[in-house]
Amino acid sequence: MNETTAKGFISALFDLSFKELITTKVIKLLYVVGICLAGLGSVIMLATGLWQGGPGLAALIVAPLSFLLSVIGLRIWLELVMVIFKISDNIELVAGKAAGR
């Protein structure tokens, strides 16, 4: 981020009128953080299962499956958020064209 973009982000962050939206700017960061948290959770699940001995084999199956399902769910949720923002942009475009007639 350059200085102008950083100022724009900070000003958008504290924009109480919500004219500037930051979700579309931080969605990639949210996805990366979500993937890291899902990976960390899976590693903890695997380590706990192996440490306890008995459920180790189940942890070998459940941990990667849990990671995969978590990332898929996160991706779908974030894509839905982005679709909502795109719908909003398109509605504003159509309303602007209708007001211009």
- What is the mean pLDDT of the segment spanning 62-88? 95
Whether 5 maps to a domain, the answer reads no
Whether 33 maps to a domain, the answer reads yes
Confidence of residue 2 (pLDDT cuts 50, 70, 90): low
Whether 18 maps to a domain, the answer reads no
Nearest in space to 81 (alpha carbons), one of 22, 13, 32: 22
Domain residues for 75?
Answer: 25-99
Q: What is the value of pTM for the model shown?
A: 0.77
Q: How many domains does the chain have?
A: 1
Tokens matching residue 51: 């440490």
Q: How much is the pLDDT for 5?
A: 64
Whether 17 maps to a domain, the answer reads no
Whether 14 maps to a domain, the answer reads no
Predicted confidence (pLDDT) per residue in 21-61, tens digit:
788 889 999 999 999 999 999 999 999 888 887 777 788 89
Whether 52 maps to a domain, the answer reads yes
Q: How much is the pLDDT for 43?
A: 95
Whether 71 maps to a domain, the answer reads yes
What type of residue is 58? Answer: A
